[in-house]
Amino acid sequence: MLILASNSPRRREILSALRLTFAVEPSLFEERAAGRSARETVLAFARGKAEDVFSRHREDIVLGADTVVSLDGEILGKPKDGADAARMLRRLSGRMHEVFTGVCVLSSGGCGEEVVSTKVFFNPLGEDLIEAYVKSGLPLDKAGAYGIQDGFPLVGHIEGSYTNVVGLPEETVRALLSRIGGYKW
């Protein structure tokens, strides 16, 4: 059985869209970035989450993932509150940033992991849009204080994987599950 080591509704949606049968068991892994780059952070966190759940499910295939937003080399995590979300959105306004997702698949047959990066180009955001978006509550549980799928005109365009920006790069997941989990597409 495939187990998603995350409680993310967006990751569940992406796996469901791939027509995969899976269980969800959120990891107890404690995330501590401590001076790592965005790429190193997402890989370490994805691996830590997958290893934690795999330690309890050695006969299964475990998928761990972690996503961060990086602006000028600084990781923008989930906002603490609405004011923090507004601050992040102002910083992202009219600029390019990168979204990194680390993916780790563990099974008794081995381990596969990758980091995917997507460049995201934000539209210039007016204060009215920022205020409306923050009031919606949507940015509060998302890295970088936004979701590309939320229906607000935040993003002008991207270079790379759309599903990576949502939180789980579909193409990479397919490849790792084929290689490590023996899935046929």
- List, as one string, the DSSP characters of 54-66: HTT-TTSEEEEEE
Q: How far is CA 3 from CA 15, 26, 155, 173, in A?
A: 11, 9, 32, 13
pLDDT of residue 30: 87
Spatial distance between the Cα atoms of 100 and 98, rounded to a whole number of angstroms: 6
pLDDT of residue 182: 86
CATH class assigned to 2-181 = alpha beta
Residue in 156, 164, 146, 41 with CA at minimum distance from that of residue 84: 146
Active site residues: 66
Tens of pLDDT, residues 120-131: 999 999 999 999
- Maximum CA extent, the chain: 52
The overall average pLDDT reported for the chain is 95
Displacement of CA 79 from its chain's centroid (Å)? 15
Angle ∠(113,119,122) on CA atoms, nearest 5: 140
pLDDT of residue 33: 66
83-103 mean pLDDT = 98
Displacement of CA 178 from its chain's centroid (Å)? 20
Q: How is the chain split into domains, by residue range?
A: 2-181
Question: Considering Cα of 148, then 151, then 154, then 160, what sign does the dihedral take?
Answer: positive
- Residue 72, judged by CB atoms within 10 A of its CB (0-12, 13-18, 19+), counts as exposed
**DSSP code of residue 87:** H
